Structure 1
Protein backbone atom coordinates (compact mmCIF):
# COMPACT_ATOMS: atom_id res chain seq x y z
CA UNK A 1 0.00 0.00 0.00
CA UNK A 2 2.78 2.44 0.90
CA UNK A 3 4.50 1.80 -2.45
CA UNK A 4 1.21 2.45 -4.31
CA UNK A 5 0.66 5.69 -2.41
CA UNK A 6 4.22 6.82 -3.17
CA UNK A 7 3.71 6.12 -6.87
CA UNK A 8 0.44 8.06 -6.88
CA UNK A 9 2.12 11.03 -5.18
CA UNK A 10 4.95 10.92 -7.72
CA UNK A 11 2.47 10.81 -10.62
CA UNK A 12 0.51 13.77 -9.25
CA UNK A 13 3.72 15.71 -8.67
CA UNK A 14 4.84 14.99 -12.25
CA UNK A 15 1.53 16.26 -13.61
CA UNK A 16 1.83 19.44 -11.54
CA UNK A 17 5.45 19.97 -12.56
CA UNK A 18 4.60 19.53 -16.25
CA UNK A 19 1.72 21.97 -16.02
CA UNK A 20 3.95 24.62 -14.43
CA UNK A 21 7.16 23.83 -16.31
CA UNK A 22 9.59 26.70 -16.82
CA UNK A 23 13.30 27.34 -17.06
CA UNK A 24 15.18 28.54 -13.99
CA UNK A 25 18.66 29.91 -14.68
CA UNK A 26 20.89 30.15 -11.61
CA UNK A 27 24.51 31.19 -11.08
CA UNK A 28 26.13 28.13 -9.53
CA UNK A 29 29.90 28.69 -9.65
CA UNK A 30 32.25 31.70 -9.90
CA UNK A 31 36.00 31.76 -10.60
CA UNK A 32 37.71 35.09 -9.68
CA UNK A 33 41.36 34.20 -10.39
CA UNK A 34 44.65 33.00 -8.92
CA UNK A 35 46.54 34.33 -5.90
CA UNK A 36 49.55 34.27 -5.71
CA UNK A 37 50.96 34.45 -9.22
CA UNK A 38 49.32 35.40 -12.47
CA UNK A 39 45.87 34.21 -13.52
CA UNK A 40 45.75 31.00 -15.53
CA UNK A 41 43.02 32.52 -17.68
CA UNK A 42 40.25 35.13 -17.55
CA UNK A 43 37.38 35.10 -15.05
CA UNK A 44 34.36 32.89 -15.59
CA UNK A 45 31.09 31.88 -14.02
CA UNK A 46 28.70 28.98 -14.42
CA UNK A 47 24.96 29.13 -15.07
CA UNK A 48 22.76 26.07 -14.47
CA UNK A 49 19.19 25.58 -15.63
CA UNK A 50 17.43 24.20 -12.56
CA UNK A 51 14.04 24.33 -14.25
CA UNK A 52 11.94 21.84 -16.20
CA UNK A 53 12.27 23.21 -19.75
CA UNK A 54 15.08 24.59 -21.87
CA UNK A 55 15.94 28.26 -22.01
CA UNK A 56 16.54 29.64 -25.51
CA UNK A 57 17.29 33.13 -26.76
CA UNK A 58 13.65 33.34 -27.86
CA UNK A 59 12.84 33.62 -24.13
CA UNK A 60 15.16 36.62 -23.74
CA UNK A 61 18.85 37.38 -23.99
CA UNK A 62 21.32 37.02 -21.13
CA UNK A 63 23.48 39.89 -19.83
CA UNK A 64 26.14 40.17 -17.12
CA UNK A 65 27.36 42.76 -14.65
CA UNK A 66 29.30 42.37 -11.43
CA UNK A 67 28.24 43.36 -7.90
CA UNK A 68 27.23 46.86 -9.05
CA UNK A 69 24.11 45.46 -10.81
CA UNK A 70 24.37 48.38 -13.25
CA UNK A 71 22.25 48.05 -16.39
CA UNK A 72 24.46 50.66 -18.09
CA UNK A 73 27.48 48.36 -17.66
CA UNK A 74 25.62 45.13 -18.42
CA UNK A 75 27.17 43.24 -21.34
CA UNK A 76 25.66 40.47 -23.50
CA UNK A 77 26.52 36.81 -22.96
CA UNK A 78 27.11 35.31 -26.38
CA UNK A 79 27.77 31.90 -27.92
CA UNK A 80 25.12 29.94 -26.01
CA UNK A 81 21.66 29.92 -27.54
CA UNK A 82 19.99 27.29 -25.34
CA UNK A 83 20.48 25.67 -21.93
CA UNK A 84 18.67 22.37 -21.36
CA UNK A 85 17.05 21.38 -18.06
CA UNK A 86 19.81 20.30 -15.70
CA UNK A 87 22.55 21.64 -17.97
CA UNK A 88 25.42 23.82 -16.71
CA UNK A 89 27.29 26.18 -19.04
CA UNK A 90 30.35 28.40 -18.60
CA UNK A 91 30.53 32.08 -19.52
CA UNK A 92 34.14 33.22 -20.02
CA UNK A 93 35.40 36.81 -19.95
CA UNK A 94 37.01 36.98 -23.38
CA UNK A 95 34.98 38.28 -26.34
CA UNK A 96 37.24 36.60 -28.89
CA UNK A 97 37.87 33.01 -27.81
CA UNK A 98 37.68 30.37 -25.08
CA UNK A 99 40.87 28.65 -26.31
CA UNK A 100 42.95 29.60 -23.25
CA UNK A 101 40.26 28.30 -20.90
CA UNK A 102 40.02 25.05 -22.87
CA UNK A 103 43.78 24.46 -22.71
CA UNK A 104 43.87 24.98 -18.93
CA UNK A 105 40.96 22.55 -18.50
CA UNK A 106 42.07 20.03 -21.14
CA UNK A 107 41.73 17.24 -18.54
CA UNK A 108 37.91 17.43 -18.31
CA UNK A 109 34.93 17.13 -20.62
CA UNK A 110 33.90 20.74 -21.04
CA UNK A 111 30.32 22.04 -21.18
CA UNK A 112 29.06 24.69 -23.58
CA UNK A 113 31.20 27.82 -23.29
CA UNK A 114 29.81 31.29 -23.93
CA UNK A 115 31.76 34.56 -24.04
CA UNK A 116 31.42 38.11 -22.73
CA UNK A 117 33.47 41.28 -22.40
CA UNK A 118 32.65 42.77 -19.03
CA UNK A 119 33.83 43.77 -15.58
CA UNK A 120 36.55 41.66 -14.02
CA UNK A 121 35.79 39.82 -10.79
CA UNK A 122 37.75 41.07 -7.79
CA UNK A 123 39.88 38.72 -5.69
CA UNK A 124 38.76 40.52 -2.54
CA UNK A 125 35.10 39.58 -3.04
CA UNK A 126 32.60 40.51 -5.74
CA UNK A 127 29.36 39.29 -7.29
CA UNK A 128 27.71 38.18 -10.51
CA UNK A 129 24.45 39.71 -11.73
CA UNK A 130 22.52 37.81 -14.40
CA UNK A 131 19.97 39.75 -16.47
CA UNK A 132 17.34 38.36 -18.85
CA UNK A 133 15.77 40.77 -21.33
CA UNK A 134 14.87 41.38 -24.96
CA UNK A 135 17.61 43.79 -25.87
CA UNK A 136 19.67 45.65 -23.29
CA UNK A 137 18.29 45.38 -19.74
CA UNK A 138 16.29 48.38 -18.58
CA UNK A 139 16.34 47.99 -14.80
CA UNK A 140 16.64 45.74 -11.78
CA UNK A 141 13.40 44.02 -12.80
CA UNK A 142 15.42 42.26 -15.50
CA UNK A 143 17.72 40.60 -12.91
CA UNK A 144 17.01 36.86 -12.67
CA UNK A 145 19.84 35.95 -10.30
CA UNK A 146 22.59 37.56 -8.24
CA UNK A 147 25.30 35.74 -6.28
CA UNK A 148 28.21 37.04 -4.23
CA UNK A 149 31.42 35.43 -3.00
CA UNK A 150 33.62 36.51 -0.07
CA UNK A 151 37.29 37.50 -0.01
CA UNK A 152 39.21 34.96 -2.10
CA UNK A 153 42.77 36.07 -1.34
CA UNK A 154 43.34 33.03 0.90
CA UNK A 155 41.77 30.63 -1.61
CA UNK A 156 43.55 31.59 -4.84
CA UNK A 157 42.66 29.52 -7.88
CA UNK A 158 39.60 28.00 -6.23
CA UNK A 159 36.15 28.68 -7.65
CA UNK A 160 33.30 29.65 -5.34
CA UNK A 161 30.54 27.02 -5.41
CA UNK A 162 27.24 28.77 -4.77
CA UNK A 163 25.29 25.61 -3.92
CA UNK A 164 27.91 24.55 -1.36
CA UNK A 165 28.45 28.15 -0.16
CA UNK A 166 32.18 27.40 -0.13
CA UNK A 167 35.33 27.67 -2.20
CA UNK A 168 36.00 24.51 -4.19
CA UNK A 169 38.42 21.88 -2.93
CA UNK A 170 39.60 18.73 -4.70
CA UNK A 171 37.14 15.88 -4.12
CA UNK A 172 34.41 18.01 -2.54
CA UNK A 173 30.69 17.24 -2.84
CA UNK A 174 30.60 18.86 -6.29
CA UNK A 175 33.41 16.64 -7.59
CA UNK A 176 35.91 19.47 -7.95
CA UNK A 177 39.38 18.77 -9.36
CA UNK A 178 42.57 20.55 -10.36
CA UNK A 179 43.14 22.05 -13.78
CA UNK A 180 45.54 20.48 -16.27
CA UNK A 181 47.92 23.45 -16.01
CA UNK A 182 49.36 25.53 -13.14
CA UNK A 183 50.24 29.22 -13.10
CA UNK A 184 53.68 30.81 -12.67
CA UNK A 185 53.46 30.30 -8.89
CA UNK A 186 52.77 26.56 -9.36
CA UNK A 187 49.14 27.06 -8.33
CA UNK A 188 46.41 25.10 -10.11
CA UNK A 189 42.81 26.15 -10.56
CA UNK A 190 40.25 24.09 -8.64
CA UNK A 191 36.64 23.85 -9.82
CA UNK A 192 33.81 21.51 -10.77
CA UNK A 193 33.68 22.75 -14.36
CA UNK A 194 30.24 22.12 -15.83
CA UNK A 195 28.57 19.47 -13.66
CA UNK A 196 25.02 18.56 -14.64
CA UNK A 197 22.27 18.52 -12.03
CA UNK A 198 19.02 16.56 -12.32
CA UNK A 199 16.10 18.79 -13.24
CA UNK A 200 12.89 18.31 -11.22
CA UNK A 201 10.87 16.42 -13.82
CA UNK A 202 13.70 13.94 -14.40
CA UNK A 203 13.77 13.20 -10.69
CA UNK A 204 10.03 12.51 -10.71
CA UNK A 205 10.32 10.32 -13.79
CA UNK A 206 12.99 8.31 -12.02
CA UNK A 207 10.63 7.88 -9.08
CA UNK A 208 7.88 6.66 -11.40
CA UNK A 209 10.30 4.24 -13.06
CA UNK A 210 11.13 2.86 -9.64
CA UNK A 211 7.42 2.46 -9.01
CA UNK A 212 7.18 0.40 -12.18
CA UNK A 213 9.88 -1.91 -10.85
CA UNK A 214 8.06 -2.19 -7.56
CA UNK A 215 4.80 -2.95 -9.32
CA UNK A 216 6.46 -5.71 -11.34
CA UNK A 217 7.90 -7.30 -8.23
CA UNK A 218 4.50 -7.25 -6.48
CA UNK A 219 2.82 -9.35 -9.21
Structure 2
Protein backbone atom coordinates (compact mmCIF):
# COMPACT_ATOMS: atom_id res chain seq x y z
CA UNK A 1 0.00 0.00 0.00
CA UNK A 2 1.01 3.65 -0.41
CA UNK A 3 3.05 4.98 2.53
CA UNK A 4 3.20 8.54 1.18
CA UNK A 5 2.26 11.12 3.80
CA UNK A 6 -0.83 13.26 3.31
CA UNK A 7 -0.93 17.00 4.23
CA UNK A 8 -3.85 16.36 6.60
CA UNK A 9 -4.61 13.07 8.41
CA UNK A 10 -7.60 11.55 6.59
CA UNK A 11 -9.35 10.43 9.75
CA UNK A 12 -13.01 9.86 10.53
CA UNK A 13 -14.78 8.09 13.36
CA UNK A 14 -17.70 5.71 13.40
CA UNK A 15 -20.93 6.57 15.11
CA UNK A 16 -21.39 4.69 18.36
CA UNK A 17 -24.17 2.58 16.83
CA UNK A 18 -21.57 0.60 14.88
CA UNK A 19 -19.87 -0.58 18.05
CA UNK A 20 -22.59 -0.40 20.69
CA UNK A 21 -26.16 -0.56 19.35
CA UNK A 22 -27.68 0.45 22.69
CA UNK A 23 -25.98 3.87 22.63
CA UNK A 24 -27.38 6.71 20.46
CA UNK A 25 -25.16 7.67 17.52
CA UNK A 26 -23.54 11.03 16.88
CA UNK A 27 -21.99 12.47 13.75
CA UNK A 28 -18.51 11.46 12.64
CA UNK A 29 -15.58 13.85 12.84
CA UNK A 30 -13.93 14.88 9.57
CA UNK A 31 -10.20 15.10 8.95
CA UNK A 32 -10.33 18.90 9.04
CA UNK A 33 -11.56 18.69 12.63
CA UNK A 34 -8.36 16.96 13.77
CA UNK A 35 -5.86 19.69 14.70
CA UNK A 36 -2.18 19.15 14.07
CA UNK A 37 -0.11 19.37 17.23
CA UNK A 38 3.26 20.89 17.95
CA UNK A 39 6.25 18.67 18.70
CA UNK A 40 5.35 18.81 22.40
CA UNK A 41 1.75 17.82 23.12
CA UNK A 42 -0.26 19.96 25.50
CA UNK A 43 -1.24 18.12 28.69
CA UNK A 44 -4.99 18.59 29.24
CA UNK A 45 -6.58 18.61 32.68
CA UNK A 46 -7.93 15.13 33.40
CA UNK A 47 -10.94 13.47 34.96
CA UNK A 48 -11.28 9.83 36.03
CA UNK A 49 -14.03 7.46 34.98
CA UNK A 50 -14.70 4.23 36.88
CA UNK A 51 -17.11 1.56 35.68
CA UNK A 52 -20.04 0.98 38.06
CA UNK A 53 -18.61 -2.32 39.33
CA UNK A 54 -15.62 -0.37 40.66
CA UNK A 55 -12.93 -2.45 38.96
CA UNK A 56 -11.79 -0.67 35.78
CA UNK A 57 -10.97 3.03 35.58
CA UNK A 58 -9.17 5.42 33.24
CA UNK A 59 -8.16 9.08 32.99
CA UNK A 60 -9.47 11.27 30.16
CA UNK A 61 -9.42 14.98 29.16
CA UNK A 62 -11.90 17.02 31.21
CA UNK A 63 -13.47 18.45 28.01
CA UNK A 64 -14.47 14.94 26.92
CA UNK A 65 -17.44 12.98 28.26
CA UNK A 66 -18.25 9.31 28.95
CA UNK A 67 -21.69 7.77 28.67
CA UNK A 68 -22.66 4.21 29.57
CA UNK A 69 -25.23 1.67 28.45
CA UNK A 70 -26.06 -1.97 29.00
CA UNK A 71 -25.09 -4.30 26.13
CA UNK A 72 -27.90 -5.29 23.76
CA UNK A 73 -29.89 -8.54 23.97
CA UNK A 74 -29.27 -9.02 27.67
CA UNK A 75 -25.55 -9.70 27.27
CA UNK A 76 -23.41 -9.30 30.40
CA UNK A 77 -21.20 -6.33 31.18
CA UNK A 78 -21.32 -2.57 30.73
CA UNK A 79 -20.47 -0.43 27.69
CA UNK A 80 -18.91 3.03 27.72
CA UNK A 81 -18.43 5.49 24.86
CA UNK A 82 -15.86 8.31 25.15
CA UNK A 83 -16.89 11.47 23.28
CA UNK A 84 -14.89 14.62 22.54
CA UNK A 85 -15.97 18.20 23.22
CA UNK A 86 -17.65 18.43 19.79
CA UNK A 87 -19.82 15.37 20.46
CA UNK A 88 -17.83 12.95 18.27
CA UNK A 89 -17.64 9.35 19.50
CA UNK A 90 -13.96 8.39 19.77
CA UNK A 91 -13.62 5.21 21.79
CA UNK A 92 -15.71 2.19 22.79
CA UNK A 93 -14.99 0.19 25.96
CA UNK A 94 -16.84 -2.92 27.12
CA UNK A 95 -16.31 -4.10 30.70
CA UNK A 96 -17.24 -7.63 31.80
CA UNK A 97 -17.48 -8.95 28.23
CA UNK A 98 -17.59 -12.72 27.67
CA UNK A 99 -17.34 -13.10 23.87
CA UNK A 100 -14.10 -14.39 22.40
CA UNK A 101 -12.13 -13.59 19.27
CA UNK A 102 -11.98 -15.44 15.98
CA UNK A 103 -10.23 -14.61 12.74
CA UNK A 104 -7.82 -15.71 10.09
CA UNK A 105 -4.20 -14.90 9.17
CA UNK A 106 -3.32 -11.36 8.10
CA UNK A 107 -0.28 -9.26 7.25
CA UNK A 108 0.22 -6.73 10.08
CA UNK A 109 2.20 -3.49 10.35
CA UNK A 110 2.60 -2.10 13.88
CA UNK A 111 2.78 1.71 14.04
CA UNK A 112 2.95 2.06 17.83
CA UNK A 113 2.78 -0.04 20.99
CA UNK A 114 3.23 0.45 24.75
CA UNK A 115 2.82 -1.48 27.98
CA UNK A 116 -0.32 -1.04 30.10
CA UNK A 117 0.90 -2.13 33.56
CA UNK A 118 -2.38 -1.40 35.36
CA UNK A 119 -4.23 -4.07 33.37
CA UNK A 120 -2.31 -7.31 34.10
CA UNK A 121 -4.47 -10.35 33.28
CA UNK A 122 -5.27 -13.04 35.89
CA UNK A 123 -2.58 -15.28 34.38
CA UNK A 124 0.00 -12.50 34.64
CA UNK A 125 -0.08 -11.56 30.94
CA UNK A 126 0.18 -7.81 30.48
CA UNK A 127 -2.06 -6.35 27.75
CA UNK A 128 -0.41 -4.01 25.27
CA UNK A 129 -1.63 -0.77 23.72
CA UNK A 130 -1.29 -0.91 19.96
CA UNK A 131 -2.04 0.98 16.75
CA UNK A 132 -1.80 -1.31 13.72
CA UNK A 133 -2.90 -1.85 10.15
CA UNK A 134 -3.77 -5.29 8.83
CA UNK A 135 -3.91 -6.41 5.20
CA UNK A 136 -6.10 -9.28 4.06
CA UNK A 137 -6.72 -10.03 0.40
CA UNK A 138 -7.39 -6.68 -1.29
CA UNK A 139 -8.41 -4.85 1.91
CA UNK A 140 -6.85 -3.10 4.89
CA UNK A 141 -8.16 -2.30 8.36
CA UNK A 142 -6.80 -0.12 11.16
CA UNK A 143 -7.07 -0.99 14.85
CA UNK A 144 -6.18 0.92 18.01
CA UNK A 145 -6.80 -0.25 21.56
CA UNK A 146 -5.58 -2.85 24.05
CA UNK A 147 -4.81 -6.36 22.96
CA UNK A 148 -3.05 -9.56 23.91
CA UNK A 149 0.66 -9.38 22.95
CA UNK A 150 0.00 -11.90 20.15
CA UNK A 151 -2.00 -9.22 18.30
CA UNK A 152 1.14 -7.08 18.12
CA UNK A 153 3.14 -9.65 16.16
CA UNK A 154 4.25 -8.07 12.90
CA UNK A 155 4.51 -9.56 9.43
CA UNK A 156 2.83 -12.16 7.25
CA UNK A 157 0.61 -14.88 8.69
CA UNK A 158 -0.16 -13.09 11.96
CA UNK A 159 -3.40 -13.90 13.76
CA UNK A 160 -5.96 -11.11 13.20
CA UNK A 161 -6.42 -8.38 15.81
CA UNK A 162 -8.33 -9.24 18.99
CA UNK A 163 -9.53 -6.30 21.10
CA UNK A 164 -10.61 -8.44 24.08
CA UNK A 165 -8.20 -8.83 27.01
CA UNK A 166 -8.75 -11.08 30.00
CA UNK A 167 -9.68 -9.57 33.38
CA UNK A 168 -10.78 -11.04 36.70
CA UNK A 169 -14.39 -9.97 36.01
CA UNK A 170 -14.62 -11.43 32.50
CA UNK A 171 -12.89 -9.30 29.89
CA UNK A 172 -12.27 -5.76 28.63
CA UNK A 173 -12.88 -4.76 25.01
CA UNK A 174 -11.45 -1.46 23.72
CA UNK A 175 -11.70 0.02 20.24
CA UNK A 176 -11.02 3.43 18.74
CA UNK A 177 -14.01 4.06 16.46
CA UNK A 178 -12.57 4.51 12.98
CA UNK A 179 -14.59 4.66 9.80
CA UNK A 180 -13.66 2.14 7.11
CA UNK A 181 -11.40 3.20 5.53
CA UNK A 182 -9.98 5.30 8.36
CA UNK A 183 -7.12 6.79 6.31
CA UNK A 184 -6.30 7.45 2.67
CA UNK A 185 -3.02 5.59 3.13
CA UNK A 186 -0.44 4.63 5.74
CA UNK A 187 1.30 7.97 5.46
CA UNK A 188 -1.92 9.64 6.61
CA UNK A 189 -2.09 7.23 9.56
CA UNK A 190 1.44 8.22 10.57
CA UNK A 191 0.55 11.89 10.23
CA UNK A 192 -2.40 11.41 12.62
CA UNK A 193 0.04 10.06 15.22
CA UNK A 194 1.52 13.59 15.46
CA UNK A 195 -1.81 15.11 16.61
CA UNK A 196 -2.99 15.91 20.12
CA UNK A 197 -6.02 13.70 19.52
CA UNK A 198 -3.83 10.63 19.00
CA UNK A 199 -1.71 11.47 22.06
CA UNK A 200 -4.81 11.89 24.23
CA UNK A 201 -6.41 8.63 23.08
CA UNK A 202 -3.16 6.75 23.62
CA UNK A 203 -2.73 8.27 27.11
CA UNK A 204 -6.31 7.29 27.99
CA UNK A 205 -5.79 3.69 26.93
CA UNK A 206 -2.46 3.38 28.72
CA UNK A 207 -4.05 4.76 31.91
CA UNK A 208 -6.54 1.86 32.14
CA UNK A 209 -6.32 0.20 35.56
CA UNK A 210 -7.96 -2.83 37.13
CA UNK A 211 -8.48 -2.74 40.91
Is the shorter-chain TM-score for this pair beyond 0.5, marking a shared fold?
no
Could you say which structure has the higher helix fraction?
1
TM bin, normalised by shorter chain, reads under 0.3
TM-score normalised according to structure 1 size: 0.25
